[in-house]
Structure 1
């Protein structure tokens, strides 16, 4: 659904384009300054000092898994943490407390049906609706895949396609977070940095039941995939991970791009 004012839409698209272009260089300098050596690097290097977050993923509840004392990073962008909302955050009233349905198309031939919960996650749903309407996601990539015992997701939506960048804002609060840290297969949740107000444009799709340590604060569950998940698993997840990090996650072997997205309020 497109905004009714074409000139406003053009200005918004220009703003988002400029943000995506300019942030890459700023993020590069920030990574050098903070000794963050690239998106998806999952080793804790003075993370509290630099504002980066390392979140522990618990696999103790997964079948056949044993608890691990070593940390593994959960879905999180590499953007620096913020103490509160920054930038022009879309109004949480956009979602209208309603259920929204649409599609997310990957690589032109993987069509996912999606549903956003504007009642349980009004701020996150409103942000996602706004970004989809403005076609922010089209042409961005899904840069990170995890597929190990109790740890299954595909992370997408960074402005620069490598886990960095945003649309010029970061926001909170966390909403609709599972108290037990269990994210069911098909869940769509919002990635974040160290604080509840560091959510940006990145989200992750849970491709099989996943448990993430709830003591870190958890992740906003904004909605779910209603169809097409098996196609995603067959064409992307099952093909494996290239250059996996210490937690087994990394860039998907099958390059995955968001080629289309639609959203509309459920009637």
Structure 2
């Protein structure tokens, strides 16, 4: 007999998990190698710096310094990731690293949701959202899951949890779970790390981010380490977010009760000046 859709989906998820785990191991190895190279370079720089102070490199010629990479984007193989889309990669240099940026998510559920992206704490997340918004990657895509932790899951055009661009990047702004006070009882409630309105990235495995994101419509206090990096927070359209949070769920193809019973469609997602212009008429009414 041909395998059922349920089995096909579970096998696909298992295969994807194995692929991502292998890639995570390779990336950790690459980071260790880069760290070792960085130490060696630092030693060389100290020696060169001493020689420079001594005037060994004095010259009338002007020198230029190339800008350092702000973000690194790990490429993915299309053959291993058939549900991902090649939309290029964001720049690596000269990216904003301070302040905030406006993002507007327009849906079929009401007034636009305005988001303030935390550029200072998550510059690569902001750069990725900006790049993908410019490619209209999110337009006319469905938020395919409502999770029991109190968040709506968006940003995967395939609706399989495997979709996204052909690149990934690591966490930048994951909250730290506070250590319990010495006098705290075992029954003490965990801290709320993701307040209502928090916008996070979600990767599979954790720390391998792409286009997928969560918007929390209620407070979430994880009982283990914080699993998601924070990209920003909702600043307008809270009524729309509350409406989405009330949508009931039904079983998806894998039997998990996470599929919205009615479509939640992102009609457009914009960042920057376009986002501010789109949100301006409705933010005050929905804040």
TM-score category (smaller protein): 0.5 to 0.7
Residue 167 of structure 1, CA deviation:
1.5
Task: Give the distance between the partners of 2:195 and 2:227, measured in 1 at CA.
Answer: 14
Instruction: Write the mapping of 1:185-224 to structure 2, written as runs, cut at 5 A.
Output: 185-196=196-207, 198-215=208-225, 218-224=227-233
Conservation of the 8 A alpha-carbon contact between 1:89 and 1:169: yes
Alpha-carbon distance in structure 1 between the residues aligned to 2:96 and 2:142: 25
SS in 2 for 1:239: coil
Give the deviation of 1:213 after TM superposition. Answer: 4.4
Q: Give 2:176's match in structure 1, choosing from 163, 174, 179.
A: 179
- Report the equivalent of 1:73: none
Aligned to 2:264: 256
Q: Report if aligned partners of 1:131, 1:137 keep a CA contact under 8 Å in 2.
A: yes
Give the whole-Å Cα distance in 1 for the aligned partners of 2:120 and 2:255.
Answer: 34
Deviation at 1:220, TM superposition (A): 1.1
Alpha carbons of 1:245 and 1:95: their partners in 2 closer, same or farther (altered >3 Å)? farther
Distance 1:245 1:146, change over 3 A: farther
TM-fit CA distance, 1:140? 1.1
TM-score by length of 1: 0.63
Query: Deviation per CA, 1:10-35, whole angstroms, max 9, x where unpaired?
Result: xxxxxxxxxxxxxxxxxxxxx95971
Residues 105 and 260 in structure 1, CA contact (< 8 A), matched pair in contact too: yes
User: What is the deviation of 1:98?
Assistant: 3.0
Q: Which runs of 5+ in 2 are unaligned?
A: 1-6, 28-73, 77-87, 178-191, 277-287
> Which residue number in structure 1 is paired with residue 90 of structure 2?
90
Cα distance in 2 for residues equivalent to 1:245 and 1:178: 32
112 and 195 in structure 1: CA distance in 2 versus 1, 3 angstrom threshold: closer
Q: For residue 51 of structure 2, what is the aligned residue in structure 1?
A: none
CA distance in 2 between counterparts of 1:238 and 1:213 reads: 24
Give 3-state SS (helix, strand or coil) of 2:129's partner. Answer: helix
TM-score, normalised with respect to structure 2: 0.59
Secondary structure of the 2:130 match is helix
The answer for the alignment partner of 2:124 in structure 1 is 123
Q: What displacement does 1:108 show? A: 6.5
Report the counterpart of residue 145 of structure 1 in structure 2.
146
Superposed displacement of residue 90, structure 1: 1.8
Question: Are the counterparts in 2 of residues 101 and 264 from structure 1 also a CA contact under 8 Å?
Answer: yes
- 1:1-267 matches, cutoff 5 A: 32=8, 35-36=11-12, 50=15, 52=17, 80-81=20-21, 82-83=23-24, 84=27, 85-87=74-76, 89-91=89-91, 93-107=94-108, 109-147=110-148, 151-172=149-170, 174-180=171-177, 182-196=193-207, 198-215=208-225, 218-234=227-243, 236-243=244-251, 249-264=257-272
The residue that corresponds to 2:40 in the other structure is none
Secondary structure at 1:35 match in 2:
helix
Q: Please, which runs of 5 or more residues in structure 1 have no aligned partner?
A: 1-30, 38-46, 54-78
Cα distance change of structure 1 residues 247 and 146 upon mapping to structure 2, 3 Å threshold: farther
Greater share of helix: 2
Structure 1 stretches of 4+ moved >6 Å: 244-248
Once the two structures are superposed, residues 148-193 of structure 1 have per-residue CA deviations (whole angstroms, 9 ceiling, x without a partner) of xxx2000001131332221111221x11111127211000000101
Instruction: Tell me how many residue pairs correspond in the alignment.
Output: 193
